[in-house]
Structure 1
């Protein structure tokens, strides 16, 4: 299992907005340290632009962070999320809803 850098950024933001940012960040670092990190690099940026253009042409855009997450996992990875409504718009993306029993 892995966590992408975009998700980490969202988690860090949440920690900084919490009542005790230092403690929350320490706990997050311990938790996130167990996972491989998937970066948002140049190749992913290219995929992101392509996916965004396709979705815009179809009139079905998704949020910027979700778009970046989709681009990161578009390389034959499965995205585990409960936000399937947004991600279903991305062709070929493999999804697994963590709230639905297999």
Structure 2
């Protein structure tokens, strides 16, 4: 599963997406629905028409060519457990990252992220080292 940080780095030319897809091999190249929302939010916030159009093309390509995993009841259960666990431990993570982590955990996917500091707090989450 790909985190928003990876896709933003690829959009900025800081990461080669085809090389990443090659590196992940058999792992599913999917994003969570909240990642799609975060990317679409970036489109909506763009002030300049040219930037908005470029971002929109990129995000629509991502949505149409990479699987988007919905947030259903299994993911909601994983989210609730993880939220409670991290809260009890005093190690909370951001709300969107919590959804991404819960989705990856519920599906048994590794997570490709450039935000390891945040996701390292999630016990049992397999983090994929992104080649940059």
TM-score (norm 2): 0.70
Structure 1 gaps, min length 5: none
Q: For residue 33 of structure 1, give the secondary structure of its aligned residue in structure 2.
A: helix
Deviation at residue 8 of structure 1 after TM alignment = 0.6
How far apart in 1 are the matches of 2:55 and 2:91? 35
Contact 1:84/1:97 (CA < 8 Å) preserved in 2? no
**Are 2:55 and 1:24 equivalent residues in the alignment?**
yes
Question: Counting strand residues as a fraction of each chain, which structure ranks higher?
Answer: 1
Q: Which runs of 4+ in 1 moved over 4 A?
A: none
Larger RCO of the pair (alpha carbons < 8 Å, separation 6+)? 2
1:47-62 map, 5 Å:
47-62=78-93
Q: How far is the alpha carbon of 1:49 from its aligned partner?
A: 0.7
Paired residues, number: 100
Superposed CA RMSD: 1.5
Structure with bigger helix share is: 2
* CA displacement 1:24-47 (0-9 Å, x = unmatched): 323321232111111111221111
Distance 2:100 2:62 in 1: 19
